[in-house]
């Protein structure tokens, strides 16, 4: 299953010199957590859809989109 990207995101991903940077937002939920842990791979906090994501440097490797 392919990942859904907005038209703007696809244009930025395909651009040789993109105007905007792509931020990775990570939300961790668990029954033992009172509230989800939300982090953004950036140097400053960001609010998205009313939720604050805390700045934290991290790397992420997403799984392949193949059916296997």
Q: What integer is the mean pLDDT of 35-63?
A: 92
- Side by side, the strands of the sheet bearing 25-28 are 25-28, 37-40, 51-55, 46-48
Res 68: pLDDT: 61
Domains of the chain, residue spans? 20-68
Q: What integer is the mean pLDDT of 57-61?
A: 86
pTM: 0.68
Res 42: pLDDT: 92
Res 34: pLDDT: 97
The answer on pLDDT for 29 being more than 60 is yes
Instruction: Give the confidence band of 28 by pLDDT, cuts at 50, 70, 90.
Output: very high
């Amino acid at each position: 299953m392919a990942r859904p990207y907005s038209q703007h995101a696809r244009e930025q991903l395909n651009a040789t010199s993109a105007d905007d940077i792509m931020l990775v937002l990570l939300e961790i939920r668990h029954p033992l957590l009172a509230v989800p842990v939300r982090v953004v791979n950036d140097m400053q906090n960001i609010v998205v859809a009313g939720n604050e994501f805390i700045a934290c440097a991290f790397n992420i490797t997403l799984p392949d989109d193949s059916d296997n």
